[in-house]
Chains A and B, each alone.
Chain A
Amino acid sequence: MAKMNESLISSLQTLDRRYVFLFMVIAVIIPFAFDLTFDEVATPEVQAIFQFIEKLPEGAKVLVPFDFDPPSEPELKPMADSYVRHLCQRKQKIYFMALWPMGQAETLDTVNRVIKQEFPQYIYGKDYVMLGYKPGGPGVIQLLLSNFKESYPIDAIGTPITKIPMMQDVKKLEDMDLILNVSAGSPGLKEWIQFGSDRTGTPIGGGVTAVMAPLLYPYYPKQLSGFLGGLKAAAEYESLLIATYPKFYSKDLKVFAGIRRMGPQTLAHLVIIFFIIIGNIAYFVTRRKNKN
């Protein structure tokens, strides 16, 4: 028996990582196969940005820079879609732009899936506009402070800004009622706070990946009205949307990808917790044996 225990402990210490991978695959597949979902309770920072958008008056101007690309899409796309859904529900004007090369492709994807399908009454140029990608990172934000047209003489389609109705009363960043940035790195939410929001006093909120979230807590709540950090926060925001607009939304997993993806993430976290525990048990048993 003792020999068996010894060999078990030593095999746990040198466990082939392919077993870990196998557990991970199972943890991801099972929730998808059975549509396993959980109820989400919104954290204060998620509640804060949700309430901020709720309180914005109808027709408020919201700048929505999409600063991410496909690697971060599973985490950020659900929050980007939810923000756009919420803004459309509140009948606010959306100004899309991007500081990342792939940001415009992500914008177009959201516009096609959310605005064109769920809000056909939204008219391009009157209710939303795509300004497109601009290189320069913080330099572009800096220029928006004083002159929008200098940075964007034309939109993503090539229409001169002067001919777009909703751009007529937008001269500089200060004219925006809210900046809502979804970002996966730099330039991103941090740069928008430092170069854009802080200098103009324009309120700012947004969404970032889970690994970036700790970097933004120093700005919350004074400089950052609220933010979503990672997939869990995206699922929390989706739950708030469902709870606030029950007439329009139900827990439809095809629409709310954040809630759907939380199943695999929860199980994957549990697998990691399980392996951390058995790894430590094996470590302590071996250490005690070596001491003896």
Chain B
Amino acid sequence: MRRQVPLLITFVVGMIMLLEAFVPHPPFDEINEKLTTTFNVLTVFAFILGGGNLVKIHLGQIHRKNPGWGYSLVTILGFFFILVVGLFKFGADSFKQPLESTGTWFYLNYEYCLRPLQATMFSLLAFFVASASYRAFRAKNREATILLIAAFTILLGRTLIGTALTDYFPGSLELLLSTLLAFIAKEMYKSKQWVSFVSLSIIIIVVLSRTLYGYSVLLVNEEFNHLTIPSLVNWIMLVPQLAGQRAIMIGICLGIISMSLRIILGVERSYLGTEND
């Protein structure tokens, strides 16, 4: 009985929520509204649960004088300080004034403690990203090289140097690309991979012809869109990146659907805990 009732509640509520998505009419929409309100109320209680848990863990750390208990003390003091300051709106002219108004103790704490502390923590990322890029971004194999080229292009394209480079030297990116492809084609010729060599050669000829045609158009003072780093960045974001994202999203959605169905139908019961709980 202890397990059957929660399973029944889960099934009924799950089915109602599911039906509401397809039939947004009474009574399903009304029931859904009530259930959502209940969910939002429960979320507020989760704050009490979370706060209680935080106090319990850190008081235990302090009581046992575990290594780093000083940090726990700071956490507890900070927690109760902001709780009292927020609940009683210290520094506010009236109880109607918003908690975050200038002059309240909450605001002072937010402006002069929380904001600089969190900003400092986040700013450190710039240094670690730079250091990690230096150490990890190595063209060790084919996959790492592709990743490196993509990241390098996006980094360059996201700065104005990328725009400037291809604006001042139109077609430079195509020439660079052709040189790279020619280098790869040379290796293929050496290893006698004829199909790949011929395919690459055709690509090189097409790219070079387009670039040269572009120069002839520019010479007679007409406009021609040579490949630029920003347009290449846009292409990376809108084609290969997007394809990868979509594949991941579809995979996640299918996972969520199957997990939800397992929970609604009572196949997945881990959320109920074990018999001993």
Contact = CB atoms under 8 A, between A and B. Distances in A.
Contacts of B139: 280, 283-284
Contacts of A74: 119, 122
Given A70-B118, A217-B241, A271 B130 contact: yes
Contacts, number: 146
A136 B130 contact: no
Contacts of B138: 279-280, 283
Nearest to A277: B152
A158 B47 CA distance: 21
A216 to B, nearest CB: 9
A99 to B, nearest CB: 11
B174 interface: no
B119 A140 contact: no
B241 A214 contact: yes
B56 interface: no
18 contacts: A15-B134, A28-B126, A40-B160, A44-B234, A71-B118, A132-B98, A136-B43, A136-B44, A158-B96, A215-B245, A217-B238, A268-B126, A268-B130, A269-B159, A270-B159, A272-B133, A272-B155, A279-B135
Interface residues of B, number: 56
Counting from the closest, the 10 A-B pairs by CB-CB distance are: A136-B40, A71-B122, A275-B134, A105-B100, A70-B118, A38-B160, A17-B131, A70-B115, A136-B43, A266-B159
Given A41-B163, A70-B114, A135 B43 contact: yes
Interface string A255-290: 000000010011011111101101110011000000
A112 B40 contact: no
Contacts of A271: 130
A104 interface: yes
Interface stretch (A1-9, A51-59, A141-149): A141-149
Nearest to B136: A279
Nearest to B250: A218
A217 B159 contact: no
A44 B134 CA distance: 32
Interface of A: 15, 17, 20-21, 23-24, 28, 38-41, 43-44, 69-74, 102, 104-105, 108, 112, 130, 132, 134-137, 139-140, 142-143, 146-147, 150-151, 156-158, 210, 214-215, 217-218, 230, 232, 262, 265-266, 268-273, 275-276, 278-280, 283-284
A139 B34 CA distance: 11
Contacts of A150: 33, 37
